[in-house]
């Protein structure tokens, strides 16, 4: 037996012209922060470090960009905006983007998975999020867009902020794919904490979603899930969201509840979920029964998704916890009114 497996493969079994090296490389991931809020989120993610993920900050505001930390930083819409931001003028950002479109395309071409982060309401993030989403699609990378909706007080007092937010949301949703909507108002439950700490909490949650999806597609799992599955789900049209939870393998109910209700994301399913990927990560001691109980619980809470692709990976060491990452399809579109009533 041993001799059989150690014998080299006959040369006819391996097509040497086939790009094996290309196939063997792990998918490359980028997190791009767009505008002020996007750049601040990316700076926080850069500081927290996510293995296998590069970062980029893009802004029209040079001063703000200088304070951002990321692997790369790009000032766009020059010389028209003179590096001073757009002051809420979304049209001016779009008009000034010109040759920067090519620059961004060339950067995006290097990645398989691109996370775009922006605060909506201002000019830069609201313009760049839909624009970069379409550039991401052009280069064939998989986009996940994360947007921060302005606080109710901002929306209530400014027609410009409302208009920028509504336009960006509309364009993003028309493009389909994964859209993570963080309603700032949901952070109000942390009113007693310092502001910086509240945004940091949101960014840590965002980091968990990013690293969950990146881990899912970067390392071969023992069952089922890879970049092609995620691609198929994203390309199937419709809107999806990411979910994340971490807990004890003995309590699948708490784990699934955490994923569905305790997050900071604003989403609504249209009854039964659409195509869904559920990825469970555990230690060497994760039992078959615990894994199946998590899958079953998740399936029933999502009212039996149209198509559920479950997968898992176990780590060589023992863990006393389990991590759940999911991509859930079949989301309702978020209008500004709905987001405001959330
Ligand atoms: N600065 C900041 N704003 C945030 C954050 N999270 C959400 N926001 C919201 O992001 C929205 C957009 O603001 P900015 O990102 O500063 O705007 P911008 O995209 O830079 O656009 P202009 O400065 O108008 O060109 C605001 O309405 C805030 O409510 C955050 O972590 N930092
Ligand atoms: Mg700005």
> Residue by residue, what is the 3-state secondary structure of 25-80?
CCCCEEEEEEHHHHHHHHHHHHHHCCCCEEEEEEECEHHHHHHCCCCEEEECCCCC
Find out whether the beta carbon of 143 lies less than 6 Å from any atom of ligand 1: no
How far away, in angstroms, is 62 Cα from ligand 2 center?
9
Query: CB neighbours of 238 closer than 8 A, spacing ≥ 6?
Result: 176, 274, 329, 330, 331
Q: What is the CA radius of gyration of the chain?
A: 21
CATH 3.40.50.1440 domain span(s) along the chain: 26-213
Whole-number pLDDT of residue 39: 98
How far away, in angstroms, is 165 Cα from ligand 1 center?
11
Find out whether the beta carbon of 35 lies less than 6 Å from any atom of ligand 1: yes
The model carries a pTM of 0.91
Ligand nearest to the CA of 37: 1
- The phi, psi pair for 295, rounded to 5°, reads -60, -45
Find out whether the beta carbon of 129 lies less than 6 Å from any atom of ligand 1: no
For domain 233-329, give the CATH superfamily. Answer: Tubulin/FtsZ, C-terminal domain (3.30.1330.20)
| Beta-carbon-side half-sphere exposure of residue 50 (alpha carbons within 13 Å) | 29
Q: For the domain bounded by 26-213, which CATH number is listed?
A: 3.40.50.1440
Find out whether the beta carbon of 276 lies less than 6 Å from any atom of ligand 1: no
Which residues of the chain fall short of a pLDDT of 70? Answer: 1-24, 342
Whole-number pLDDT of residue 222: 74
Whole-number pLDDT of residue 277: 93
Find out whether the beta carbon of 305 lies less than 6 Å from any atom of ligand 1: no
Closest C-alpha to ligand 1, atom 17? 122
pLDDT in tens, 38-91: 999 999 999 999 988 999 999 999 999 999 999 999 999 999 999 999 999 999
CATH 3.30.1330.20 domain span(s) along the chain: 233-329
Query: CB neighbours of 220 closer than 8 A, spacing ≥ 6?
Result: 226
Ligand nearest to the CA of 86: 1
Find out whether the beta carbon of 42 lies less than 6 Å from any atom of ligand 1: no
Site to substitute for ligand 1 among 66, 121, 166, 169, most atoms within 8 A of C-beta: 121
How far away, in angstroms, is 91 Cα from ligand 2 center?
14
Find out whether the beta carbon of 182 lies less than 6 Å from any atom of ligand 1: no
């Amino acid at each position: 037996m041993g001799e059989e497996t150690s014998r080299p493969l006959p040369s006819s079994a391996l097509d040497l012209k086939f790009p094996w090296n290309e196939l063997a490389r792990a998918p490359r991931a980028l997190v791009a922060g767009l505008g002020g809020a996007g750049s601040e989120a990316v700076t926080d993610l850069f500081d927290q470090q996510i293995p296998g993920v590069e970062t980029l900050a893009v802004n029209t505001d040079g001063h703000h960009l200088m304070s951002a930390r990321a692997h790369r930083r790009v000032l766009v819409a020059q010389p028209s905006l003179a590096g001073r931001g757009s002051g809420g003028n979304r049209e001016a950002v779009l008009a000034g983007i010109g040759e920067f479109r090519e620059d961004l395309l060339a950067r995006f071409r290097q990645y398989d998975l691109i996370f775009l982060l922006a605060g909506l309401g201002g000019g830069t993030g609201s313009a760049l999020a839909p624009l970069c989403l379409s550039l991401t699609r052009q280069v064939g990378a998989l986009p996940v867009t994360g947007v921060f909706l302005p606080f109710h007080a901002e929306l209530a007092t400014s027609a410009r902020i409302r208009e920028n937010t509504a336009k960006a949301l509309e364009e993003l949703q028309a493009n389909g794919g994964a859209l993570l909507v963080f309603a700032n108002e949901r952070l109000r439950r942390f009113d007693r904490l310092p502001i910086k700490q509240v945004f940091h909490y949101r960014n840590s949650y965002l980091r968990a979603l990013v690293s969950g999806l990146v881990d899912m597609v970067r390392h071969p799992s023992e069952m089922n899930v890879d970049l092609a599955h995620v691609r198929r789900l994203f390309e199937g049209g419709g809107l999806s969201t990411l979910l994340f939870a971490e807990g004890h393998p003995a309590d699948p109910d708490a784990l699934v509840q955490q994923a569905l209700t305790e997050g900071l994301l604003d989403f609504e399913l249209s009854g039964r979920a659409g195509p869904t990927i559920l990825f469970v990560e555990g230690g060497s001691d994760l039992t078959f029964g615990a894994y199946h109980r998590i899958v079953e619980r998740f399936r029933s809470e999502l009212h039996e998704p149209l198509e559920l692709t479950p997968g898992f990976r176990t780590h060589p060491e023992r863990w006393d916890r389990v991590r759940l990452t999911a991509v859930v399809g079949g989301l309702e579109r978020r209008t500004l009114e709905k987001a405001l009533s959330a």
